[in-house]
Structure 1
């Protein structure tokens, strides 16, 4: 059986250098790294990672928990994290929860059984999560992505959800809109959606306007025209909507257009996330942009620092408005197609 010594001899390097190539390839010169990998391929050699893991009591695995991959924000986040982790010699294990707290407990327990070195978590409600409370008694470091929980002992990387939605609402107010509503998933189940609703209410209050109760949709990323239709008619009909995430905004625009409503001529719509898909639809989506790639890289850096012994820390990244064709300045119209 081929061993590391034979690979080193064929590559023309020392055994220590060959070992370093497999353990920490990013610290070895590219030419040397390729020599060793080429020799390993020629000899059919693969390093015994299990033995190394047992010796070092580490797996170089990071568990990642997200609500789903139907929302591209989580897919974009995972891709950026995978790239950042791979450069540091780590691999990711992914699990989804479909916004179920029971499922969160099950998948985290399974990842802990896999002996992951750390966890990246996006849960439904960080302030009420049983999973986070139980992890307090574990040795496994974790970082929350997108959350702003009240517990200062949690390590988090997020944007300011409240400020971001206030920014979106003010963007519409500055364009002359006064009858603005907010669309979100079931019962503001997500703590992020609740913070975003608070930001909407704050901006409306500052403008001397009444905020409306959240317009609840059947799912976090799926709009239902029937839930919105009663607010589109009469003298107090809405002229603009802020949505708790981009995919919900895209679904909403599609539902409006299917039912004869023009976006943005009759209704302006803003999303929240800044996913790339929003720039590829018509009309292009105006959105509050979260710096997803920066957030993902910061999450990995923070988690690896904790694995190395650093204390938990929190980072709040800036967000901004990406203009799009889904909004326009307010103009008084009589364009209700159903009058």
Structure 2
């Protein structure tokens, strides 16, 4: 059975440094982390931990998501848990409620359980204070990679926003309103809006400012009074749950979809296919992304693999909630 001293010798570092890496309890360079974890993997080293063998638990992966009630993140968790089950790992889940301040506490709570690694969906990876601490191997899920956290599994939300807007433009829509949760709570929503702006710019059209609302408030009482002023022919919601809330509120206002206002969203959640008419949306493979992120994290944590960025493909699904204005009546 290999020892910590043997791991440190193979990695070319002190025993204290090897211990910090394997226990994620101190500052160590990224290069040294990879060297120590590679040495541990080659020697099949497993820390004995502080618990007796009879009480020892399965290794844990920590997962942070914005909301446990959103079907998008439920799908991601399904992919993560299926992969971790095969690997013999438990999954510990925390949520931030789309609040950057809560992210810090949530990640701190996960770290108390000494996880093998972390899968994190944060509000904004460039600003998140949760990412400023010393962390075990970490993969961003849904967020774009950063200079420090190069491991990420995400779709191209900018391009998705651009293509969905182009879909509406091709059908004659020029007055398109983008409704979203606060951009400070989701870089995914912000990138989708930026893609929308790019499509409008290329079409030579002046876009509306985005209508931003809290993500976690109830969507059954949305305040959509701006539409009476702006009179959009189409609304893009930054996710499908919000799009469904918009549709409900439009109907309560006496408006027909898509005759009076077209609506489209992002994510491709199952309930959108059950609506009448079916929701036009950009499908994103959230369950697949969760499984891929889990595999990447295991490869980094157990085999000292280099972090990498994986881009997941999206697909536009045309439903009946978008009207072709160009078509003859």
TM-score (norm. length: structure 2): 0.78
For residues 309 and 55 of structure 2, what CA distance do their matches in structure 1 show? 32
The 2-side partners of 1:107 and 1:225 are apart by 29
* 1:85-100 equivalences in 2 (<5 Å): 85-100=84-99
Instruction: Name the CA shift for 1:159/1:226 in 2 (closer, same or farther; >3 Å).
Output: closer
Determine the structure 1 residue equivalent to 2:159.
163
Give yes or no for contact 1:178–1:239 (8 Å, CA) kept in 2.
Answer: yes
Cα distance change, pair 226–144 in 1 and its aligned pair in 2 (3 A): closer
Q: Deviations over 1:32-58 (max 9, x none)?
A: xxxxxxxxxxxxxxxxxx645999xx9
Give the 3 Å change call, closer, same or farther, for CA 331–266 of structure 1 in structure 2: farther
Distance 1:283 1:317, change over 3 A: same
Q: How far apart in 1 are the matches of 2:277 and 2:52?
A: 55
Paired residue secondary structure (2:281): strand
Whether the aligned pair in 1 keeps the contact of 2:124 and 2:184 (CA below 8 Å) is: no
For 1:316, what is the secondary structure of its paired residue? strand
Contact 1:62 1:120 in 2 (8 A): yes
Counterparts in 2 of 1:131 and 1:53: CA distance versus 1, 3 Å: farther
Pick aligned residue for 1:259 from 253, 261, 275: 253
Structure 2 matches for 1:112-123, cutoff 5 A?
112-123=111-122
Output the CA distance in 2 between the equivalents of 1:115 and 1:195.
33
Q: Is the 8 A contact 2:257 2:263 kept in 1?
A: yes
User: 2: distance between equivalents of 1:248 and 1:193?
Assistant: 11
TM-fit CA distance, 1:276: 1.1
Does 1:176 pair with 2:175? Answer: no
Higher relative contact order, structure no. (Cα contacts within 8 Å, ≥ 6 residues apart): 2
> Which among 307, 310, 322 is matched to residue 327 of structure 1?
322
- Residues 75 and 151 from structure 1, CA distance in 2 versus in 1: closer, same or farther, beyond 3 angstroms? same
Deviates more, 1:274-283 or 1:224-233: 224-233
**Mapping of residues 119-134 of structure 1, within 5 Å:** 119-134=118-133
Where do 5+ consecutive residues of structure 1 fail to align?
A: 1-49, 334-339
Partner of residue 191 from structure 2, selected from 184, 187, 195: 195
Judge conservation of contact 1:59–1:117 (CA < 8 Å) in 2. no
> Which residue in the other structure is 2:143 paired with?
147
Pairwise mapping of residues 36-55 of structure 1 onto structure 2 (< 5 A)?
Answer: 51=52
1:305 aligned onto 2:304: no
Flag the 1:188–1:223 CA change in 2: closer, same or farther, 3 A: farther
Structure number with larger C-alpha Rg: 1
TM-score, normalization by structure 1:
0.76
Query: Distance between the aligned counterparts of 1:191 and 1:54, measured in 2?
Result: 41
- The separation in 2 between residues aligned to 1:62 and 1:317, in whole angstroms, is 22
In terms of mean alpha carbon deviation, does 243-252 or 79-88 score higher? 79-88
Measured in 1, the distance between the counterparts of 2:200 and 2:218 equals 25
The answer on 1:207 being equivalent to 2:208 is: no
SS in 2 for 1:123: coil
